[in-house]
Amino acid sequence: MDTETIRTPGAPRFRGAARRRRRLLPVSLAAAGLLTACGTQTSSGVAAVPDEATSRPSGPVAVESLTVTPPTASPTASPVCPDSGVLLRAAEADAAMGLRVQTVELVNCGKRDRTVNGHPSVQVLDADLEPLEVTVGHGTSGIATIGGFETATGPVRLKPGERAVARLVWRNTVTEGTRPAADGRYLRIAPNGDGRDWQTVPDHIDLGTTGKLGVSAWARPTASAPAEPRP
């Protein structure tokens, strides 16, 4: 092979191509910089991170909808059965023209039969669990005329899981400007009215300035709707 032929013609072409590459190099580097700023992929296969100032769009951008999974609510703890074997809870009060009628429920949560008899002892407490000045009487205590308010006929014997109910009645009226309105937040109840086995039940007893609460005796719950109170 003729070495002169290889050396002499090839040298000029190489030098010309090198000069052209040198002229194109700044342009190529500038173009590469622009592509990198736009978040293109580098030769190593890792996506370049776009600069915030150069990559922020000037117009509105369509955002894909996201599916957000709500946090799972914590399960509500089951009420703990007291040592007495009965559990007390208050239902929401029915209201009509300032008259309130409410049901208190007693559940035999124990493993043996329980008996309740007569009227429960009831105290009305404020938000600090302090007793309010309230006169508690049996029956409607002259607060209103309510048919069937007292339905008890004697002791109520409850098997495990069975219930008994008592009813409360009061008026939410303000008749004295100098006396602060009583706003009960809890009830303290002794099921058999003997001052034993007290339980404190969250409740809202808005007595106004009347200071009177009527309590019925324990009875078995009935399927029929309660009689409408007559103010």
Tens digit of each residue's pLDDT (9 = 90 or more) over 110-151: 999 999 999 999 999 999 999 999 999 999 989 998 888 887
If we measure between CA atoms, which residue out of 86, 138, 88, 89 comes closest to residue 109? Answer: 86
Q: Could you give the angle at the alpha carbon of 90 between the alpha carbons of 88 and 95, nearest 5°?
A: 160
**CA 217, CA 151: separation in Å to the nearest integer?**
7
Tell me the three-class secondary structure of 157-214, residue by residue: EECCCCEEEEEEEEECECCCCCCCCEEEEEEEEECCCCCCCCEEEEEEEEEECCCEEE
Summarised one tens digit per residue, pLDDT across range 28-87 is 444 444 444 444 444 443 344 444 444 444 544 443 433 333 444 333 344 789 999 999
- Tell whether the model's pLDDT for residue 24 goes beyond 50: no
- 3-class secondary structure per residue, 55-101: HCCCCCCCCCCCCCCCCCCCCCCCCCCCCCCEEEEECCCEEECCEEE
For residue 15, with 0-12 CB atoms within 10 Å meaning exposed, 13-18 middle and 19 or more buried, which class applies? exposed
pLDDT digits (tens, 9 = 90+) for 146-182: 888 887 778 999 999 999 999 999 999 887 767 788 8
Residues 17, 24: Cα–Cα separation, whole Å: 11
Backbone angles phi, psi at 55, to 5 degrees: -100, -5
Would you give the end-to-end CA distance of the chain in angstroms?
126
74 vs 91, residue with greater confidence = 91
| The pLDDT of residue 174 | 85
pLDDT at 223: 65
| DSSP element (H, E) containing 35 | helix 3-37
Show the tokens assigned to 197.
């086995």
- Domain coordinates of the chain in residue numbers? 3-41, 86-215
Q: What is the pLDDT of residues 101-110, one digit of tens each?
A: 999 999 999 9
- Residue 229: pLDDT band by 50, 70, 90 thresholds? very low
d(CA 102, CA 216): 10
Give CATH for domain 86-215.
2.60.40
Average pLDDT over the chain reads 74
Query: Which tops the pLDDT comparison, 35 or 194?
Result: 194
Q: In this structure, what token pair is assigned to residue 160?
A: 């495990």
Is residue 10 scored above 80 in pLDDT? no
For residues 174-189, one letter each, b for 16 or more C-beta atoms within 10 angstroms of the residue's C-beta and e for the rest, the string is eeeeeeeebebbbbbb
Distance CA 113, CA 86 (A): 10
Q: pLDDT at position 49, please?
A: 42
